[in-house]
Amino acid sequence: MINEQNSKTKKYDLEERTFEFAKRVRQLIKKLPKNIGNIEDGKQVIRSSGSVGANYFEANGASSQKDFRNKISICKKEARETQYWLKIIMGADSTLKEEAEKLSKEVQELTLIFSKIILTIDRKKKT
């Protein structure tokens, strides 16, 4: 039962979740055939996926509510960029499509979470 509880908690730990996401993206990229397009696309998706987590870590140390919102907004933008690069990779290599689709689903969920955080902050400002 404790393991079940830990796994449920982990799912909602965004620092850990964004870190694991970036690691999984790197694992996918290692499997791509080495050609100029994959190398360049791989660099882009590695940067943007890592930036999602890095900016979330930064947001948690924000000096103000405005700073926090700004960092979360960057997380959302980087997540959307990662989604774009994953689509390109899925189109370029069908052998990794299933794995890339799982990552795509995860980054969609992260984007929705960041959108909700931003919406919640904006609603609180209005009240």
In a domain, 7, yes or no: no
Of 49, 12, 11, give the one whose Cα is nearest residue 27.
Answer: 49
Q: What is the CATH number of the domain that holds 24?
A: 1.20.1440.60
What's the rounded Cα separation, in Å, for the pair 92 and 100?
Answer: 11
What's the rounded Cα separation, in Å, for the pair 46 and 6?
Answer: 28
Residue 11 is predicted with a pLDDT of 46
For residue 13, give the H/E element and its range.
none
Q: What is the mean pLDDT of each run of 10 residues along the chain (127 residues)?
A: 46 88 97 93 97 97 96 98 94 85 97 98 86
Q: Supply 34's token pair.
A: 């080495």
In a domain, 3, yes or no: no
pTM of the model: 0.86
What's the rounded Cα separation, in Å, for the pair 28 and 38?
Answer: 11
What's the rounded Cα separation, in Å, for the pair 91 and 23?
Answer: 21
What's the rounded Cα separation, in Å, for the pair 17 and 23?
Answer: 10
In a domain, 8, yes or no: no
Domain count, the chain: 1
88 with 82: CB under 8 angstroms? no
